[in-house]
Amino acid sequence: MLWSGWGDPAKARELPPQIRELLHDLLGVREPAAPAASFESVRLAPVALSPAHLAALADVVGHEQVQTSRAARIRHTRGKSTPDLLRMRAGDGSAAPDAVLLPGSHDEVAALLRLCAAERIAVVPFGGGTSVVGGLAASRSGFAGVVALDLARLDRLVSVDTESMVVTAEPGLRAPEAERLLERHGLTLGHFPQSYEYATLGGFAAARSSGQASAGYGRFDDMVVGLTVATPSGDLDLGRAPKSAAGPDLRQLLLGSEGVFGVITALRLRVRRVPGRRVYEGWRFGSFREGTVALRTLAQEGPLPTVLRLSDETETMIGLARPDDIGGGSSGCLVIAGYEGPADGPADGPTDRQEAGSPAMSSPATSVEGRRAGAGAVLARMGGMPLGTEPGKAWEHGRFSAPYLRDSLLAAGATVETIETAGFWSALPRLYDAVRLALLGALESPLVMCHISHVYETGASLYFTVVTAQKGDPVAQWERAKEAVNAAIVAAGGTISHHHGVGRDHREAYAAELGPVGVDILRAVKARLDPSGILNPGILVP
């Protein structure tokens, strides 16, 4: 992973000429950004932890698992939001941890938390480091130092129960490796976010991630049936049955808790059979409104595809749903519908919300082709025009490649960032307008694109991509826009995050969403589980 950018350097992408023209003509990008700092020139403060602290930490995990090198510290600085990358490109290593710890077991994690609590050392749980909400930059104030607790060594698939279709896995498993290990058993999680190449299972649970195939496989939090968590106050082992009426479900308190209550050290996850057949296709609608009604109808009446997304007019025109061919867009609004399931026979099983008897499952169309025909009939009835499988193949081919363009855009002098939210169907048009207006008001002639990325019976999520010319300090420029968007989302009744999480960037808006009693509950839980406040200070809890 690039330390100041995204992904595998070998997959770095040049800007296509049509995008360069667009930046120049439409957005007024005239000057390339200042060149990115070299690794050697990143400014780091001296290690704040004393030799005695480092020795005590090494007593728990071993010397080689306590790393204080420049390389280790820089590679654990911040996450991968655009402001994170802009700061790293500027050589700003001020958020670097003093040390990186690599525990090898639950017991080592628990012992480290006890030691750090006693010595007032702040702890940042670190999975794949792909947070885009400032979830990895802890506050130092009042602490002897900050350590990144990298879970990379906790990377085993521990057990597979094919009768219950439940596996137990460790949190540091990266998604591709998890899929590789599961595939040996003919299984899949079906969780494919755009950060798939680097993010970990623990990070997915801690940030309530949602993948591109969520219509068929559910969100990651739908997949978690059990969690083991180490906290400074002791261990939690949650989830012993598929559903339970035994009081409030404490798993829900840990899902999305972004490391502020404890460290997830094992996950029990619902899995599915690897699909034998996958078909992705495109449809065109005349307007975003029309397409939205069609997606709502599919979400409420079925049959539901496995992948379902609708680009608005601007995103379709730019061609963002075809990441390997951006700039080659078309008119109208593009729908990508994907169907996954056994080569023949029943489709991918019901998601949690699609219990037998729900509209989506009561459809007679249960095979991939049957569901495709059934959903196609709905899309056609709602005014959609079939485009065949070519747009679906283009989307599938480039589904993880769009983030690689961001580095080239930043270098060219444009800021590109994403914003996501969700709301009920009836509130969606207002939410869409509110976010667009906030961005158009806060930035000078930005390009604002949007797609519906995840659908539910009651509503959907909106995912915006914004591109604007860098003016002055690009971090400050983006922070002003972000503040305006956060306020607009709250005022329009949307949630501040559908799947990126809260981190530092959404903390105040999350507090507004929760209200004062909700905030007090969060603080009370934090005080019980982490009385010295060492876990991810400054993140999530207002």
Ligand X SMILES: Cc1cc2nc3c(=O)[nH]c(=O)nc-3n(C[C@H](O)[C@H](O)[C@H](O)COP(=O)(O)OP(=O)(O)OC[C@H]3O[C@@H](n4cnc5c(N)ncnc54)[C@H](O)[C@@H]3O)c2cc1C
- Which parts of this chain interact with ligand X (CB under 6 A)? 6, 79-80, 124-132, 135-136, 151, 171, 193-195, 199-200, 202-204, 206-207, 209-210, 258-259, 263-264, 403, 499-501, 536, 539
- Nearer Cβ to ligand X, position 103 or 332? 103
Calpha distance 459→432 (Å, rounded):
13
- Nearer Cβ to ligand X, position 264 or 304? 264
- Nearer Cβ to ligand X, position 351 or 363? 351
Q: Residue 338: beta bridge partners?
A: 280, 307
Q: How far is the CB of 370 from ligand X (least distance, A)?
A: 28
Calpha distance 298→306 (Å, rounded):
11
Determine the 3-state secondary structure of 429 from DSSP.
helix
Alpha-carbon torsion, ordered 303, 307, 308, 310, to 10 deg: -160
- Nearer Cβ to ligand X, position 196 or 425? 196
Q: How far is the CB of 52 from ligand X (least distance, A)?
A: 26
- Nearer Cβ to ligand X, position 97 or 171? 171
Q: How far is the CB of 11 from ligand X (least distance, A)?
A: 12
Calpha distance 109→230 (Å, rounded):
7
Calpha distance 154→30 (Å, rounded):
47
E strand segments, 366-412? 385-388
Q: How far is the CB of 168 from ligand X (least distance, A)?
A: 14
Instruction: With both helix axes pointing from N to C terminus, report the angle between 368-381 and 288-301 in degrees, rounded to the nearest 10.
Output: 140
In what order do the strands lie in the sheet containing 224-231? 157-161, 166-169, 263-270, 224-231, 234-238
- Nearer Cβ to ligand X, position 128 or 145? 128
Report the residue closest to ligand X, judged by CB: 203
Structure tokens at 167: 């596996």
Element containing residue 160 per DSSP (H, E) = strand 157-161
Q: How far is the CB of 101 from ligand X (least distance, A)?
A: 13
Q: How far is the CB of 91 from ligand X (least distance, A)?
A: 20
Residue length of the chain: 542
Q: Can you tell me which residue has the tokens 């972000």?
A: 482
- 28: DSSP letter: -
Q: How far is the CB of 331 from ligand X (least distance, A)?
A: 27
Closest listed residue to residue 85, CA positions, set 179, 1, 198: 1
- Nearer Cβ to ligand X, position 36 or 151? 151
Backbone angles phi, psi at 73, to 5 degrees: -65, -45
Q: How far is the CB of 180 from ligand X (least distance, A)?
A: 17
For residue 29, the tally of other CB atoms under 10 A from its CB is: 21
The one-letter amino acid at 78: R
- Nearer Cβ to ligand X, position 151 or 321? 151
- Nearer Cβ to ligand X, position 92 or 150? 150
Element containing residue 313 per DSSP (H, E) = helix 313-318
- Nearer Cβ to ligand X, position 231 or 468? 231
> Under 8 Å CB-to-CB from 524, ≥6 apart: which residues?
none
* Cα dist from 459 to 199, 295, 341, whole Å: 27, 10, 25
- Nearer Cβ to ligand X, position 113 or 151? 151
Q: How far is the CB of 417 from ligand X (least distance, A)?
A: 11
- Pairing mode of beta strands 333-341, 277-285: antiparallel
> Under 8 Å CB-to-CB from 165, ≥6 apart: which residues?
187, 270, 271, 272
- Nearer Cβ to ligand X, position 264 or 308? 264
Q: How far is the CB of 270 from ligand X (least distance, A)?
A: 17
Backbone angles phi, psi at 457, to 5 degrees: -60, -35
Calpha distance 268→289 (Å, rounded):
40
Q: How far is the CB of 129 from ligand X (least distance, A)?
A: 5
Element containing residue 372 per DSSP (H, E) = helix 368-381
- Nearer Cβ to ligand X, position 67 or 200? 200
Q: How far is the CB of 344 from ligand X (least distance, A)?
A: 30
Structure tokens at 156: 């085993």
Q: How far is the CB of 413 from ligand X (least distance, A)?
A: 20
Q: H-type helices in 120-236, by residue range?
A: 175-183, 201-206, 214-217, 220-223
